[in-house]
Amino acid sequence: MFFLRLGVGFGKDDRKKGSEAFPVFFYFILVAVTFYFASFKFFGSFFNIKIDETGYSQFHAGAIWGFGILCEVFVMFYAGSIFRKYKAVNVLILSMFLGAVRLFVVAFSVNLVILYAINLLHGFAFGAYHLSVLRLIQLKLPEKIRLKAQSRYSEMSFGLGAIIGSVMSGIIYDIAGVNAIFTMGGLLAVFSSIIVFLGGKKLKTSNQ
């Protein structure tokens, strides 16, 4: 409720300035990206520690990150084809769900091959996720509020979400250890995908 009120507060500020308020679905997106990026911060902050505690060298941690970024570049290269075929909201839901799958697998796996392979999903877990939000802003919001919407997205995800993720992951690590971090992160990512699914019902029927 706090996040929805925060989003509504943004909308009120927009109306005071005489600009068009954000549609309801975008508030759902803002809440979802906040929780999702918190889960992403869980992964980013503690993956190297997971590798270390599993007994592998940091060379593998760096190589797995590089492999994931390569997959991200690949997905972005084919983003045009993806979005011509699938609705942006569906790609966003799928990306968040795949992000959850990656977190759950990392939580319960100690096999190096699996840890490499699961990072194939980074292309969707971050690349397609980010592009989906930007595409929804481009397609579903009036031009005069798109820049403001991108700012809100950055504030809520890379700002608030990152803060929440950094603080929560540290607390969870101290209490329950590294595997619990990835498990909780996976649950947050699933929760985020559900929020987007509910918010998608607010969208009008579209072929995008």
Please state, as a whole number, how many other Cβ atoms lie within 10 Å of the Cβ of residue 166. 15
| CATH code of the domain in which 102 resides | 1.20.1250.20
Domain assignment present for residue 102? The answer is: yes
Domain assignment present for residue 134? The answer is: yes
Q: 3-state SS of the chain?
A: CHHHHHHHHHHHHHHHCCCCCCCHHHHHHHHHHHHHHHHHHHHHHHHHHHHHHHCCCHHHHHHHHHHHHHHHHHHHHCHHHHHHHCCHHHHHHHHHHHHHHHHHHHHHCCCHHHHHHHHHHHHHHHHHHHHHHHHHHHHHCCHHHHHHHHHHHHHHHHHHHHHHHHHHHHHHHHHHCHHHHHHHHHHHHHHHHHHHHHHHCCCCCCCC
* Phi-psi domain of 55 (left: phi exceeds 0; alpha: psi -120 through 50; beta: other): left
**Tens of pLDDT, residues 166-182:** 999 999 999 999 999 99
* pLDDT at 16 exceeding the cut of 70: no
Domain assignment present for residue 189? The answer is: yes
* pLDDT at 185 exceeding the cut of 80: yes
Domain assignment present for residue 53? The answer is: yes
Please state, as a whole number, how many other Cβ atoms lie within 10 Å of the Cβ of residue 204. 7
Mean per-residue pLDDT, 11-25: 64
Which pLDDT score is estimated for 202? 75
* Domain span holding position 112: 27-200
Which pLDDT score is estimated for 1? 45
**Tens of pLDDT, residues 149-164:** 999 999 999 999 999 9
* pLDDT at 109 exceeding the cut of 80: yes
Domain assignment present for residue 205? The answer is: no
Mean residue pLDDT of the chain comes to 90
Domain assignment present for residue 37? The answer is: yes
Cβ contact 51:60 at 8 Å: yes
* pLDDT at 207 exceeding the cut of 50: no
- For the chain, the domain total comes to 1
Which pLDDT score is estimated for 155? 97
**Tens of pLDDT, residues 134-144:** 999 999 999 99
Long-range contacts: 125-128, Cβ < 8 Å, 24+? Answer: 125/40, 125/95, 125/98, 125/99, 126/40, 126/72, 126/99, 127/71, 127/72, 127/73, 127/75, 127/76, 127/79, 128/75, 128/79, 128/82, 128/91, 128/92, 128/94, 128/95
Share of the chain above pLDDT 90, in %: 85
Band the pLDDT of 203: cuts 50, 70, 90: confident
pTM for this model (two decimals): 0.86
Domain assignment present for residue 57? The answer is: yes
Mean per-residue pLDDT, 46-55: 96
